[in-house]
Structure 1
Amino acid sequence: MNHAKKISLSDRLILKNGTQIKNRIFKSAMSEQLGDKAHNPTQGLARLYAIWADGGTGLSMTGNVMIDRSALGEPKNVVLDNRSDKSLFQMWTDAGKKRDTELWVQLNHPGKQTPSFLTKTPVAPSAIPLGKGLDKVFNLPRELTEDDIWKIIKKFGESAGLAKAVGFSGVQIHGAHGYLVSQFLSPHHNRRADRWGGTLENRSRFVLEVYREMREAVGEDFPLGIKMNSADFMKSGFTTEDSVEVAKTLEEEGIDLIEISGGTYESPSMTGYKMKASTIKREAYFLEYAKQLKKQIEVPIVVTGGFRSGTAIQDALDSGVTDMIGLARPLAIEPDFPNKLLNDLETRSNLKNPTTGFAFIDKMTMLSITWYEYQLAKLATGKKVNPSQNAWSAVFQTLARLGVHGFLQRRA
């Protein structure tokens, strides 16, 4: 299903419900850690998204916003529920929608991927611990009951309805990276023997019911998307074949946009972990999967992960296998990178991997994530980022902001 004509980065994308996205640049979710003590958005968060709107992004996706304040993925997550301060969310959406920018909220439940200092007894499809040593910082989950499952589904719907009410222009289900939706889809993490587990049809039931509950809350004309794994990249996990089938089912249900990613905390492919050199050179981590998927569905696709140059971005669009280009870390350093790309496709983001020079410290402090969070925090306070920021400085600054808990396993 290749496009009949070449796509320009500046071309509008019109979704089937009539939503118009002004260009093909998609700001993918990043961990901002800018919620206040009550898990409401801060002025800094609004400032950050206004900067991205000014920078030329067509569609900005928020970092994961939680649907349940008793199930957080990180200490300073924003939560959107009936206890939220709606005026602070409206401040955020007003700022992020400047310059005709689409601002969608990514809604999430972490399942068992909630650190032990935040949740004593997390929940999951099955009582399976995280592997590869992660069980040291994530507690063994309790298996969800049927009643629990439906309560969580209802919460997704309630948060989606609130998202529309406070001014977000769309909602994305976080169905990737090993969080709860991803856990249900995975035969490794979901070993249930009831209608929520076993076959792919049963493992897909949770995300379908979440989508249906959201759709009921927001109506047919409001955009709903999903971020989903191309695969979990781990033995006995969610496969590429599974992913294609789930995408096809979601298309039948009416999903408006699908963002492609991959990996979990146990195998973090979304960060470039263990990627082939040829894939990294090509820049687009999940383009081969998108090529397979595009043959099967008509829903617009976003490919996120690895893009650094205008040349690779235009090549991906020219291939006809993606409709939007997802960018994350380049926008933490150059929030106006979209405008630069739109003006000159020879533009390149020269990101360097921050390091203290000690691999074990880099890993312990999750430097590949926290260094970028530090840059976002600077933007949020009106300061300029520092692409040459010393890694040790970022370590100490993040420790000061979040405490030692901030360095426990984190999302990308």
Structure 2
Amino acid sequence: MDSIYQKSAYFFLSLNNFIMDVEKIEQPAPNMMGIYDDSFIPEYKKLTDMVHSHEANIIMQITYGGTRSHLDSPSPIIFGASPIKNEVTGIMPVEISKDEIKHLVKSFGKAAERVKESSFDAVEIHAAHVYFLSQFLCPHYNVRTDEYGGSIENRARIILEIYDEIRKTVGNDYPILIKINSEDFMEDGLTSEESIIVSKMLEKAGIDAIEVTGGNDSSLYVVENNLDAVRKKIAFSKDKQSYFKNHATKLAKDVSIPVILTGGNRNIDLINEILNSTNIEFFGLCRTLISEPDLINKWASGDYKEPKCVSCNQCFNTHGKRCILNQKNS
């Protein structure tokens, strides 16, 4: 059996707090960074230069948040596919018009151009976790009767338009990725079959890679049943880890572009097993690297002990998203 370091496998730091907003008027999280005007470019260039000095690559996620806002005072205007209240945040959006969709598509294109000018190695469209584009894919939140609603092809239309606009601005050789739910895990949500249809449409359009995640955390059912993207109580059960692998395995058979598996990847033996038994060669990690930034180097050196992270999710409640196991007593 080949190990993760003998085959062409790669790890990704998949941090949801490193998402950049494409519109100044809209912010889904406190202190969220932006890419909505050129003033950001010089500072991001310092960041990318530093990363590249360590022979690493860095990709920027770009998004529009919608009703996922967790600000005490939400942004003044929050658009949605349809005026359907978010169960968790309680926010009722304004249905976005077709003219406003055109404006937002252009905003994504301009943001991606700035990403490239800032020397990021690729750009990733965030269309998961009930951010705005994920809402369009979800039948619960998209009840439109125009060309952006109804069939999965129509619900995916805005994402394809954004991809096309980004491709125009960054050129054919610059990598574009997408992060998309495997499914929403709610009764009237995006299904695995629909997600694969969208992924195939994006492959045909020319997208370079697909990052698989899952869970619509605007659904109380999803949150209460531990079906979202950052599931708890998985640290000591190998069977509960790498929890989107079934969808990613099927998708990797159906497309010829790279598939990135994110979600609960923490056991090196399980990762090696997936690597050797499927077409998946890319793996995203988040909480384990918040806890142990040098984890990949440890694995590379042959130290295969279990990560320190216990999947408690308390890192999301700390300033700067820090592991509570690393906090020194004051």
Match of 2:35 in 1: 80
Cα distance, 1:235 vs structure 2? 1.3
- Taking the aligned partners of 2:52 and 2:198, their CA distance within structure 1 comes to 31
Q: Is the 8 A contact 2:26 2:78 kept in 1?
A: yes
- Taking the aligned partners of 2:168 and 2:135, their CA distance within structure 1 comes to 24
Q: Is the 8 A contact 1:282 1:312 kept in 2?
A: no
- Taking the aligned partners of 1:73 and 1:202, their CA distance within structure 2 comes to 25
Segment drifting more, 232-241 vs 336-345: 336-345
Segment drifting more, 215-224 vs 81-90: 81-90
Match of 2:297 in 1: 339
- Taking the aligned partners of 1:199 and 1:353, their CA distance within structure 2 comes to 37
| 2:14 corresponds to 1:28 | yes
Check 1:368–1:388 CA distance in 2 against 1; reply closer, same or farther (3 A cut).
closer
Identity %: 31
| 2:123 corresponds to 1:171 | yes
Check 1:274–1:197 CA distance in 2 against 1; reply closer, same or farther (3 A cut).
farther
Which residue of 186, 189, 206 corresponds with 2:141? 189
Cα distance, 1:73 vs structure 2? 1.1
Gaps of 5+ in 1: 1-5, 14-22, 32-62, 355-365, 376-384, 398-412
Cα distance, 1:102 vs structure 2? 1.5
| Aligned residue runs from structure 1 range 366-377, under 5 A | 367=314, 369-371=316-318, 373-375=320-322
| 2:4 corresponds to 1:9 | yes
Cα distance, 1:85 vs structure 2? 3.1
Cα distance, 1:29 vs structure 2? 2.0
Q: Is the 8 A contact 2:315 2:324 kept in 1?
A: no
SS in 1 for 2:101: helix
Cα distance, 1:314 vs structure 2? 1.1
- TM-score scaled by length of structure 1: 0.73
| 2:52 corresponds to 1:105 | no
SS in 2 for 1:258: strand
- Taking the aligned partners of 1:67 and 1:167, their CA distance within structure 2 comes to 17
SS in 1 for 2:161: helix
Cα distance, 1:297 vs structure 2? 0.8
Q: Is the 8 A contact 1:28 1:327 kept in 2?
A: yes
Check 1:313–1:88 CA distance in 2 against 1; reply closer, same or farther (3 A cut).
same
Check 1:367–1:346 CA distance in 2 against 1; reply closer, same or farther (3 A cut).
closer
Which residue of 81, 92, 107 corresponds with 1:125? 81
- Taking the aligned partners of 1:8 and 1:248, their CA distance within structure 2 comes to 29
**Ranges of 4+ aligned residues in structure 1 off by more than 4 Å:** none
Q: Which amino acid aligns with 1:78?
A: M
- Taking the aligned partners of 1:7 and 1:182, their CA distance within structure 2 comes to 36
Residues 310-345 of structure 1 deviation map (CA, whole Å, 9 limit, x = unaligned): 212211211224111111111111111111111216
Match of 2:325 in 1: 387
Cα distance, 1:65 vs structure 2? 0.6
Q: Which amino acid aligns with 1:28?
A: S
Check 1:310–1:246 CA distance in 2 against 1; reply closer, same or farther (3 A cut).
same
Q: Is the 8 A contact 1:353 1:368 kept in 2?
A: no
Gaps of 5+ in 2: none
SS in 2 for 1:264: coil
Tell me the matched-pair count. 321
Check 1:141–1:273 CA distance in 2 against 1; reply closer, same or farther (3 A cut).
farther
Check 1:30–1:373 CA distance in 2 against 1; reply closer, same or farther (3 A cut).
farther
SS in 2 for 1:295: helix
Q: Is the 8 A contact 2:233 2:310 kept in 1?
A: no
SS in 1 for 2:177: strand
- Taking the aligned partners of 1:256 and 1:152, their CA distance within structure 2 comes to 22
Check 1:83–1:294 CA distance in 2 against 1; reply closer, same or farther (3 A cut).
closer
Q: Is the 8 A contact 1:112 1:180 kept in 2?
A: yes
Residues 112-158 of structure 1 deviation map (CA, whole Å, 9 limit, x = unaligned): 21245131331101000011x531xxx21000011110100100000
Cα distance, 1:95 vs structure 2? 1.4
